[in-house]
C-alpha cells in the first residue's frame, strides 16, 4: 500500500490556483492584503483541483502511542498518562476536544500503539508501545511500514465519509524525545539544538534527554536518506501513523494541517518519502519547541499563527480552522471591484 500511495500522489492543479488568485485579486480590497489566509485558500484550490473551494467536514486525527524510551527518565510523566488523555478526548475533557467542539470539528483518537488497551479509543494498534530506542530499535521496519499504512488507510476511510480537511494531533508520553531524535538525523543537526523540555523537564532532565538521544543515534546509526530506517530506529508509532495521514491526504487530495513540532516531524518524514506531498500540507503555528521553526523551514512552510503554543494534541492545527473559514467566507462572498464600482488596485513596481 505504501508504495502505491506514493505513486498516486500527483502535483496540485496550478491552473486552479491561478483562477483562485484571480478571484482574490478581483475582490474590492488591497491586493494580497490577507496574506496567508489568501495563500492557504489558493493552495486548497490546487489540492481540490477547482477554484470553488469547499472545506466540507473537518476532522482531527490524533495518533496515540507510547514510547519505550520513557524508561530512561526522559519525561516528567509516566506512560499511564497517554491512555488517560486518550480517553479524555472522547469526553471533551482535553484542550483539543474542547477546541474541536467550539470549531465544529470531529475528533478521532486512534490507539496505534498505546501500552494498554482502553475500552473506547479506536484500536489500530501495531504493538503495545515501542521498544526503548536507547537499547534497541524502537520498532522493526515492517512495523514502521504498517504504522504508516495505518494512517494512510484511515484517511481513505475519512474521505469516504465526506471529510474535506484534516488536522493532525498526537498523544504519547516521550514523543518529544523521538521527534527530536528524528529531527537531529534528518536535518543533520546536533541533538542539543533540537531538543526541548517537552512537558516541563528540569535542566538535569533535559541534559539526560539529550544524552539519551545522542546515544540512540550513535548506537543505531539511522540512515538520513532512508526515512523508514530513521523512523524504525528512533521514532514512534504516533509519528509513523501521522506520516501516513500526510501521505494519505496527498493521495486523496485532502489538505492536511500540521500541528506543532511532533506533527511537523511526521510531515517531514512524509515529504522525504514523497516530495510531492508537500503541496498538500498546511502549517498552522510555530511551536515553542526549539526545533519548531527548523522543521517548518525544512518543509518550506509558513505558519499562520505565532502564540508560543507547545501543547500538542492538534490544538494548533484546530486553531487554524476558524481563520481558514473566515478567509473562505471572504473569498466566496465579498463584492468585487466591478460590483462596487471601485477602481481596481494594480500592483506597484
Catalytic residue positions, numbered: 313
Q: Is 230 helix (H, G, I), strand (E, B) or coil?
A: helix
Burial class (CB in 10 A: 0-12, 13-18, 19+), 204: exposed
The torsion region of residue 167 among left (phi > 0), alpha (psi -120 to 50) and beta comes to beta
Q: Which of 1, 6, 13, 36 is nearest to 302 (CA)?
A: 36
d(CA 163, CA 10): 20
Enumerate the β-bridge partners of residue 321.
Answer: none
Cα-based distances in Å from 44 to 77, 279, 304: 39, 9, 15
| C-alpha cell of residue 169 | 494531533
Cα-based distances in Å from 136 to 130, 132, 260: 10, 6, 27
d(CA 65, CA 126): 9
Amino acid at each position: 500500500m505504501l508504495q502505491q500511495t506514493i505513486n498516486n500522489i500527483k502535483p496540485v492543479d496550478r491552473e486552479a490556483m491561478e483562477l483562485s488568485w484571480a478571484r482574490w485579486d478581483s475582490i474590492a480590497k488591497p491586493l494580497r492584503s490577507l496574506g496567508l489566509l489568501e495563500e492557504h485558500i489558493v493552495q486548497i484550490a490546487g489540492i481540490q483541483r477547482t477554484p470553488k473551494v469547499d472545506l466540507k467536514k473537518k476532522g482531527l486525527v490524533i495518533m496515540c502511542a507510547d514510547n519505550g524510551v520513557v524508561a530512561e527518565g526522559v519525561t516528567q510523566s509516566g506512560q499511564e498518562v497517554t491512555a488517560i488523555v486518550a480517553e479524555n478526548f472522547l469526553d471533551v475533557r482535553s484542550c483539543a476536544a474542547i477546541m474541536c467542539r467550539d470549531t465544529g470539528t470531529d475528533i478521532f483518537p486512534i490507539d496505534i500503539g498505546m501500552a494498554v488497551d482502553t475500552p473506547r479509543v479506536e484500536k489500530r494498534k501495531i504493538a503495545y508501545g515501542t521498544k526503548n530506542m536507547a537499547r534497541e530499535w524502537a520498532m522493526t521496519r515492517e512495523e514502521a511500514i504498517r504504522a504508516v499504512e495505518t494512517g494512510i488507510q484511515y484517511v481513505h476511510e475519512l474521505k469516504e465519509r465526506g471529510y474535506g480537511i484534516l488536522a493532525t494531533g498526537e498523544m504519547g508520553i516521550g514523543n518529544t524525545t523521538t521527534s527530536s531524535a528524528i529531527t537531529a538525523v534528518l536535518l543533520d543537526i546536533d541533538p542539543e539544538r533540537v531538543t526541548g523540555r517537552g512537558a516541563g523537564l528540569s535542566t538535569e532532565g533535559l541534559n539526560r534527554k539529550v544524552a539519551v538521544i545522542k546515544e540512540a543515534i550513535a548506537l543505531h546509526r539511522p540512515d538520513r536518506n532512508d526515512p523508514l530506517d530513521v523512523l524504525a530506529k528512533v521514532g514512534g508509532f504516533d509519528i509513523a501513523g501521522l506520516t501516513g495521514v500526510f501521505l494519505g491526504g496527498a493521495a486523496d487530495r485532502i489538505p492536511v494541517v500540521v500541528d506543532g513540532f511532533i506533527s511537523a516531524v511526521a510531515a517531514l518524514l512524509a515529504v522525504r518519502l514523497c516530495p510531492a506531498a508537500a503541496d498538500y500540507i498546511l502549517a498552522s503555528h510555530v511551536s515553542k519547541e526549539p526545533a519548531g521553526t527548523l522543521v517548518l523551514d525544512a518543509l518550506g512552510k509558513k505558519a499562520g499563527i505565532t502564540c508560543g503554543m507547545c501543547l500538542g494534541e492538534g490544538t494548533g492545527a484546530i486553531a487554524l480552522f476558524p481563520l481558514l473559514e473566515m478567509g473562505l467566507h471572504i473569498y466566496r462572498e465579498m463584492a468585487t471591484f466591478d460590483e462596487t464600482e471601485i477602481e481596481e488596485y494594480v500592483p506597484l513596481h
